[in-house]
């Protein structure tokens, strides 16, 4: 019986050098999604702290104050910088 984990380490090359740009685009796309999810989690945490309950409407209509926006901006900058650094190989230095 074949080990299902073998899928994680294929014997053949998955992407050739000509696909590097596509891979980078995919990683950046996923980074944007992570950033959106991070933003939503921070909104949910803030609403729970303030009101003790959260509704979808409250999340969707949330208006950040300056302090919250500063926290979100910092979190997004950290996420983005980490991914860009890794894509450039600078995390290995």
The predicted pLDDT at position 90 comes to 78
Selected residue with higher pLDDT from 7 and 42: 42
Binning pLDDT at 50, 70 and 90, where does residue 13 land?
confident
d(CA 63, CA 50): 13
Higher-pLDDT residue of 70, 92: 70
Provide the whole-model pTM: 0.71
| Helix or strand run (H / E) with residue 34 | helix 20-51
Integer Cα distance of 69 and 64 in angstroms: 6
pLDDT band at 1 (very low <50, low <70, confident <90, very high): low
| pLDDT of res. 48 | 96
Cβ proximity of 72 and 42 under 8 Å: yes
Mean pLDDT of 16-32: 89
Q: Where are the domains of the chain?
A: 16-92
How far is 78 from 93, CA to CA, in rounded Å?
Answer: 18
């Amino acid at each position: 019986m074949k080990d299902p984990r073998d899928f994680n380490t294929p014997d053949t090359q998955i992407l050739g050098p000509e696909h590097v740009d596509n891979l980078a685009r995919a990683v950046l796309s996923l980074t944007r999604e992570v950033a959106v999810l991070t933003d939503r989690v921070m909104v949910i945490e803030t609403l729970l702290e303030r009101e003790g309950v959260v509704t979808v409407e409250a999340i969707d209509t949330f208006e950040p104050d300056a302090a919250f926006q500063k926290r979100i901006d910092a979190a997004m900058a950290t996420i983005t910088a980490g991914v860009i650094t890794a894509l450039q190989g600078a995390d290995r230095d």
